[in-house]
């Protein structure tokens, strides 16, 4: 009887440990979903940075080869050609320099999970509580707890001559 109770409690404690490890453990489903969300955020951020890189590459190649673009940037920086004249008007704000959006910093968020030792501790605690409840249920039925195992059937020997009821021919 005690073996069945212990084995049942061990089975339930192991089941709780396994389920906790599977769902909220280090390699569990909850952690997997957190990592998938981070992966999605990183890929989204990478796509936006790639778009910025493409725009800057296009602008760089235009600055290297297109004379009109070079002249426009030179005028923004107050450079003039030899045949041009520059007129500055006081009281006006200077033209704003172009600021490039380089993207935002993405910090890795920590993954939250239940440690292996915590899963084992909860499983062991569940084993102890289950075993105690089984013993208390047994105590409630009989008024005492039985720690003995089932009695083995002893071989009984019959003394004397056995008599069989055999029909006569």
What is the 3-class SS of 98-157, one letter each residue? Answer: CCCCCCCCCCCCCCCCCCHHHHHHHHHHHHHHHHHHHHHHHHHHHCCCCCCCCCCCCCCC
pLDDT of residue 79: 77
The rounded mean pLDDT for the chain is 82
Looking at residue 1, what is its pLDDT? 66
Q: Which pLDDT score is estimated for 99? A: 66
Both structure tokens of 2: 């005690």
Position 18 pLDDT exceeds 90: yes
Q: Using an 8 Å Cβ cutoff, are 134 and 9 in contact?
A: yes
Condensed to tens digits (0 to 9), the pLDDT of residues 97-143 reads: 566 677 677 788 899 999 999 999 999 999 999 999 988 887 777 66
Using the predicted structure, report yes or no on whether residue 10 has a pLDDT greater than 90. yes
Tell me which of 110 and 150 has the higher pLDDT: 110
Triad 147, 151, 153: Cα angle to 5°: 175
The reported pTM is 0.57
pLDDT of res. 163: 65
DSSP 65-90: H-HHHHHHHHHHTT---TT------T
Domain boundaries, the chain: 1-28+113-147, 38-111
Q: What is the pLDDT of residues 37-68, one digit of tens each?
A: 999 998 888 888 888 889 889 988 988 888 88
Condensed to tens digits (0 to 9), the pLDDT of residues 107-120 reads 888 999 999 999 99
Q: Residue 32 — very low, low, confident or very high, per pLDDT cuts 50/70/90?
A: very high
């Amino acid at each position: 009887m005690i073996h069945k109770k212990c084995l049942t409690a061990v089975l339930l404690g192991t089941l709780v440990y396994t389920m906790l490890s599977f769902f909220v453990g280090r390699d569990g489903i909850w952690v997997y979903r957190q990592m998938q969300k981070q992966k999605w955020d990183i890929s989204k951020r990478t796509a936006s940075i790639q778009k910025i890189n493409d725009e800057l590459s296009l602008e760089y190649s235009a600055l290297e080869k297109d004379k009109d673009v070079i002249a426009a940037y030179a005028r923004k920086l107050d450079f003039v050609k030899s045949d041009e004249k520059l007129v500055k008007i006081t009281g006006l704000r200077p033209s704003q320099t172009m600021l490039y959006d380089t993207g935002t910093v993405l910090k890795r968020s920590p993954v939250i999970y239940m440690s292996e030792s915590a899963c084992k501790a909860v499983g062991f605690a569940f084993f102890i509580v289950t075993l105690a409840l089984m013993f208390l249920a047994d105590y409630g039925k009989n008024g005492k707890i039985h720690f003995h195992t089932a009695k083995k059937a002893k071989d009984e020997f019959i003394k004397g001559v056995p008599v069989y009821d055999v029909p006569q021919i």
